[in-house]
Structure 1
Amino acid sequence: MADHTRNLRAHNVRAEEGRGRPFGVVTRGTTGHNRLRRSDRWTVAHPRVRRLLLDAPHPLAVDVGYGASHTTTVEWASRLRTIRPDIEVVGLEIDPERVLPPRDGVRFELGGFELADYRPHLVRAFNVLRQYDVDQVERAWESVLSRLAPGGLFIEGTCDEIGRRAVWLLLDRDGPVSLTFAWDPGDVEKPSDLAERLPKILIHRNVPGERVHALLSAADQAWDRAAGWEPYGPRVRWRHARQMLIDEGWPVTPVRRNLRDNLLTVPWAAVAPEGWTA
């Protein structure tokens, strides 16, 4: 079971606005090469992201809380440049000691969820809000979403230490749009193993009666029924399990190309917490 004991509280964004102070707290900052590759692959293939970056006159992407190393931000920049070679990428860290000199065409600056007064087209925050209290999440979202460029998007999620299991939300200025699960086909025994990587807004909602619990339970059941495809490998087995979910009426986003990762994407409405009104 994941350790949630070291949750952190951020400054009240409303109290900090206009004072030139970053909004957030210093997190553990662990990272590693290719840790966010699953999210990056999904991002550069997403039609809405591609359209946004291709249409922007001067696209800007901001990586919030890149941690103790530049690695994942530089990798993200390299992958985004397959869409727009001229995209500007900035990494923000709230810890001044982690702010690095520019490298590989990426600038690193002091900042948090106030985005250092930038108005980016694309924002990413991975493994950051997971370390906050749940009642801080929507405030951080609000801070980011209110500062996006027109049509801007925000990817917020979490993954394991070496990036084999990842779950993230896509948000626009109106709030959450979709939830995506991505995993190494050879690393997961059943889809619900990803529950411990749910974003903070959902991590405590994986209980009977909640939509995200129902989705993961249905995914496990479909995975079990697809066991006959196991000799062909976990990718093939998951492809048939995912189709079973679609046939049962789950609004699963179709996967239209061959992928290295097992993926499950659903609209936010399919997993939103009971009583969600935002």
Structure 2
Amino acid sequence: MRSPRPVGTITRGTTNPNRLRRCDRWIAGPQAWRLRRASGPPIVVDLGYGASPITAVELHDRLRLVRPDVEVVGIEIDPARVAAGAPLEREGLRFRLGGFEVPLDGDARPTVVRAFNVLRQYAEDDVPGAWARVQQRLAPDGLLVDGTCDEIGRRATWVAVEASGPVSLTISLRLRGLERPSDVAERLPKSLIHRNVPGEPVHAYLQDLDRAWARSAPQSSWGARQRFLAAAAEIRERWPLLDGPARWRLGEITVAWDAVAPTGTT
């Protein structure tokens, strides 16, 4: 019997080493409990890893520090990209053909599916359906991470989606040389990038973060990190942030999804 056709379309596939380090650090940090709670070896999928398999290799290197028995599966819709990954397979790391249907052996279900710079190349209307397909495949306590970043990973954003729906938006920035936090707007996930306009919650959030960043300018004497800490502490009074100083120090800030979701979707 022929295997079902993978669900999705081939993306441009652009990637670079260390590009997804910010998201990997978040999965291995605040989300590590999902891996530790798994009763057997947790499965983590790098969905749509692109022209180079390096991001899947790096993900495996980082997550096995949390769970040495973690299994990372790189899934790509392009057979040539799957073939390129095959020589790098090792214990706990493999590659296979597929798409949003997330094909795994038997009844296996992934603990985490990371889909970075994938849905960015789709239409906004395609996002709910793609999320739903992956959500159906998740293990209990499983998570889909739908994100976007720049070419070298200095600016990144991602939506955390559980089986019940999206739960948070994370922004992660290289603070050195940052002019304003809203510079990340062009790297918002597909579900939000067209909503960064007046009247939409995500626009209000970014504008408020910019204003807090500007008011925290005196903290620059102690460095950009202290300035960002002060800005985040200020907006926590008005926005439901889900993290604290330990993450803010990394240039990372996470807000509840309901506060920034597109109008008409909450």
Aligned partner of 1:34 among 18, 22, 42: 18
- Aligned-residue offset at 1:255: 2.2
Any conservation in 2 of the 1:164–1:187 contact (CA below 8 Å)?
no
Number of residue-to-residue matches in the alignment: 257
Matched residue type, 1:72: T
Alignment of 1:247-258 (within 5 A): 247=237, 249-257=238-246
Alignment partner, residue 4 of structure 1: none
Alignment partner, residue 52 of structure 1: 34
Alignment of 1:1-278 (within 5 A): 20-46=4-30, 49-56=31-38, 57-99=40-82, 100-101=85-86, 102-105=88-91, 106-117=93-104, 118-247=108-237, 249-257=238-246, 261-277=250-266
Distance 1:213 1:264 in 2: 16
SS in 2 for 1:166: strand
- Aligned-residue offset at 1:52: 1.8
- Aligned-residue offset at 1:257: 2.4
Distance 2:97 2:171 in 1: 30
Runs of 4+ that moved beyond 4 A: none
Distance 1:164 1:260 in 2: 15
Distance 2:198 2:241 in 1: 21
C-alpha change, 1:140 and 1:275, in structure 2 (3 Å) is same
Q: CA RMSD in A?
A: 1.5
SS in 1 for 2:11: coil
**How big is each residue's C-alpha offset from its partner over 1:246-272, in whole Å with a ceiling of 9 and x where there is no partner?**
13x211123242776311210000101
SS in 2 for 1:116: coil
Matched residue type, 2:230: H
SS in 1 for 2:246: coil
Alignment partner, residue 13 of structure 1: none
Q: TM-score, normalised by structure 1?
A: 0.89
SS in 1 for 2:125: helix
Identity %: 53
Any conservation in 2 of the 1:211–1:273 contact (CA below 8 Å)?
yes
- Aligned-residue offset at 1:188: 2.1
What residue ranges of structure 1 are gaps of 5+ in the alignment? 1-17
C-alpha change, 1:40 and 1:187, in structure 2 (3 Å) is farther
Distance 2:243 2:52 in 1: 35
Any conservation in 1 of the 2:212–2:234 contact (CA below 8 Å)?
yes
SS in 1 for 2:243: coil
Q: TM-score, normalised by structure 2?
A: 0.93
Any conservation in 2 of the 1:31–1:161 contact (CA below 8 Å)?
yes
Any conservation in 2 of the 1:74–1:104 contact (CA below 8 Å)?
no
Any conservation in 2 of the 1:59–1:121 contact (CA below 8 Å)?
yes
Matched residue type, 1:73: A
What residue ranges of structure 2 are gaps of 5+ in the alignment? none
- Aligned-residue offset at 1:150: 1.4
- Aligned-residue offset at 1:192: 0.5
SS in 2 for 1:130: helix
Distance 2:140 2:27 in 1: 18
